[in-house]
Amino acid sequence: MRPAYPAILSAMLFLANIAYGGDAMDFSLKSPDFNEGESIPKRFSCEGEDISPELVWEDPPPGTKSFALIVEDPDAPMGTFVHWIIYDLPPASKKLRRGAGTEELSDGIKQGSTDFGLKRYGGPCPPKGHGKHRYNFLLRALDIATLGLPAGAKKSEVERAMKGHILAETKITGLYQR
């Protein structure tokens, strides 16, 4: 007798696709500055220009009214370290240009407070000799136009405000070591 796992998995994927209006599974995030699972160039780190890489996304689910992005290092010695928070990105947004994390943003877009204590992007900066760290760029499509938070909100506040409003999420992970 053959196990039914492939059929069950296929049915689950089909139902998930229906639940998200058929498009959530296509929601993707990429960067022309680094590939998934590969090294983030020094330019985007504390050892370089410390500017945010360009990020491009496609196929958000129907009903998306805004986006929120959190960039974090889960390999930091003291626990997950937040490098960038950006929220209230308009639904027509399809990218964040290179360096956007160090600029004043318009259209009601807000940046939260990082674990560096900044309201801007802070690039990869793991302790020297600590090995490769992963940097997760997690983008969420939301069913609300604004989180209703002022600029400078902390990750916990952003996550609390997003709760129950996430239509889909996608991520890209880059690596960095010093």
Which CATH number belongs to the domain containing residue 35 in this structure?
3.90.280.10
Q: Could you give the CA distance from residue 159 to residue 123 in angstroms, rounded to a whole number?
A: 21
Domain housing 159: 21-176
- What is residue 53's predicted lDDT score, i.e. its pLDDT? 98
**CA-to-CA separations, 26 to 56, 61, 117, 158, 178, in angstroms, rounded:** 13, 8, 34, 24, 34
Residue 16 has pLDDT above 90, yes or no: no
26 in a domain, yes or no?
Answer: yes
The SS3 call for residue 68 is strand
16 in a domain, yes or no?
Answer: no
- Quick: pLDDT tens for 119-177: 999 999 999 999 999 999 999 999 999 999 999 999 999 999 999 999 999 999 999 99
6 in a domain, yes or no?
Answer: no
Tokens of 107: 């259209």
Residue 9 has pLDDT above 50, yes or no: no
- What is residue 135's predicted lDDT score, i.e. its pLDDT? 98
Q: Could you give the CA distance from residue 96 to residue 103 in angstroms, rounded to a whole number?
A: 11
Residue 7 has pLDDT above 90, yes or no: no
CA 133 and chain centroid, separation? 16
Between 85 and 3, the higher pLDDT residue: 85
Exposed/middle/buried for residue 85 (C-beta within 10 Å: 0-12, 13-18, 19+) = buried
The tally of CA atoms less than 13 A away on the side-chain side of residue 37 is 0
10 in a domain, yes or no?
Answer: no
74 in a domain, yes or no?
Answer: yes
**CA-to-CA separations, 18 to 8, 12, 23, 59, 137, in angstroms, rounded:** 15, 10, 8, 15, 26
pTM of model > 0.95: no
Q: Domains in the chain: how many in total?
A: 1
102 in a domain, yes or no?
Answer: yes
- What is residue 24's predicted lDDT score, i.e. its pLDDT? 57
Residue 15 has pLDDT above 90, yes or no: no
